[in-house]
Amino acid sequence: MRSSRKVALLGALVIVAGLLATPLTAQAQSAFSVRVGGFLGNREVPADGMRFYAPAMRVHAGDTITFKLKGFHTATLIPANSDVDSWARDNAGGVGKPFSLIAPDPDETSGDDPHTKFNNAAIFPSDQTCGAADNACSYDGTDTLNSGAFIDTPSFTASIDAGVGDVIWVVCLIHPEMRLRIEVVAGGATATTQERIDAYKDNMIAGDRDDAAALDHKLSARSTKHVTASGKVVHDAYAGFDGPGYSLLAFYPQKVVVRRGQKVRWHFSGLRYEDHSVTMPFKRGIAISRNGAMPVCDPDGDAGPGPDNPPETQGPPFCNDPSQLEFDISPAFLYPRGDGAHKRGDLDSSGVEGGGIHTGKSPYTLKFTKTSSKDGFRYMCVIHGGFMDGFVRVKPR
């Protein structure tokens, strides 16, 4: 008797609990994890991944997505139902748009080049109080939600609280061609599974690796020269090269061999994500690279008089009032230097060109009027530091 009453009571409780729970949560909320970028290569093929490693996603309202940022990327959720091409064109890339990586700095005026700084709206999270796995930032579709790139843990969690039917694009502000589509589907509709995301990731990485190795070998295997419209012979070189979903971080060919008086032309036309420079000599390039972005404190904003103040603390937060922090970019980092003819010790730099930051892709040509050592003149990319170098050997005529 007692035991059958217990069973009946339990049954009633289960039914009541079921009635309460069913309409509220038709299915459990999912927590997804999506890898963003990451090195794909090895010592031989220096390929960097340029994808959100997930297929176009279908999620339920209230699901969370943790973006694992591997490398210098952002996961930036743009307002729901925006046209992603127009949004990216109007807001990201280049200099001075609302979410460009680089903003003008009216406080600094020395020299001939316009001064710039990192855009705080791009590099810092749009909300500092959330984003951890156990404290997701709520995204309701009205505003842009940005992970930022300068974050302590390279991981950013957003709760997708937009409406059913909303389409959300996630864009990397540093490489605006990196994108992910998310659609919010009705409670009963099938959503993406983590298994499917993981399978997609493994498949894309394997395919991109293979593709990158083939392109790397093709570009490494030969050197070309061509005659320009004005009848001059130039030797061709490439400052990095991107394929769909990856960037090759190398100069091709690794060593260009020319005769004294000839020219080398570096092409940036193969870049859709990355930016690079051609900067020589190597050691001066390293110094420019190290001092590329310097923390300063700006007490009065862009409208107030400059220049900015030196940092107030040696390490982070750099400024006693963190809202004053900005990172000024050295003009020698961003803009061309030199006279177009390279001699030993001359500083010559193309400035930054490519798919994201400067959105310039014009080639850079240098004439070599002096012979080099057997090793050649060593050069580098100020963005990728000593990791990315190349040589030009100049033989006697």
CA distance 355 to 358: 7
Q: Does 174 bind Cu ion (CB under 5 A)?
A: yes
Q: Residue 345: in which H helix or E strand, if any?
A: none
Distance in Å, CB of 162 to Cu ion, minimum? 23
Burial of 22 (0-12, 13-18, 19+ CB in 10 A): exposed
Closest among 384, 113, 372 to 264, alpha carbons compared: 372
Q: Does 122 bind Cu ion (CB under 5 A)?
A: no
Distance in Å, CB of 133 to Cu ion, minimum? 21
Q: Does 149 bind Cu ion (CB under 5 A)?
A: no
Confirm if 378 and 280 have CB atoms less than 8 A apart: yes
Peptide bond into 316 cis (omega under 30): no
Phi, psi of 248 (to 5 degrees): -90, 120
* Closest CB to Cu ion among residues 60, 73: 73
* Closest CB to Cu ion among residues 92, 174: 174
Distance in Å, CB of 227 to Cu ion, minimum? 37
Per CB under 5 A, which of residues 64..93 are in contact with Cu ion? 73
CA distance 164 to 159: 14
Q: Does 47 bind Cu ion (CB under 5 A)?
A: no
* Closest CB to Cu ion among residues 93, 376: 93
Closest among 69, 31, 32, 64 to 50, alpha carbons compared: 69
- Looking at 130-138, 171-179, 314-322, 369-377, which segment touches Cu ion (CB under 5 A)? 171-179
Per CB under 5 A, which of residues 364..393 are in contact with Cu ion? none
CA distance 326 to 316: 12
Q: Does 40 bind Cu ion (CB under 5 A)?
A: no
* Closest CB to Cu ion among residues 179, 265: 179
Peptide bond into 55 cis (omega under 30): no
* Closest CB to Cu ion among residues 65, 392: 65
Per CB under 5 A, which of residues 263..302 are in contact with Cu ion? none
Contacts of 255 (CB under 8 A, 6+ apart): 376, 390, 391, 392, 393
Distance in Å, CB of 150 to Cu ion, minimum? 14
Distance in Å, CB of 97 to Cu ion, minimum? 16
* Closest CB to Cu ion among residues 172, 182: 172
Amino acid at 45: V
263-267 and 233-243 as β-strands: parallel, antiparallel, unpaired? parallel
CA distance 255 to 393: 7
- Looking at 158-166, 178-186, 239-247, 322-330, which segment touches Cu ion (CB under 5 A)? 178-186
Distance in Å, CB of 244 to Cu ion, minimum? 14
Name the CA radius of gyration of the chain, rounded.
Answer: 26
* Closest CB to Cu ion among residues 179, 267: 179
Among 35, 51, 115, 175, binds Cu ion (CB under 5 A): 175
Q: Does 249 bind Cu ion (CB under 5 A)?
A: no
Which residues of the shown chain bind Cu ion in the complex (CB under 5 A)? 73, 172, 174-175, 178
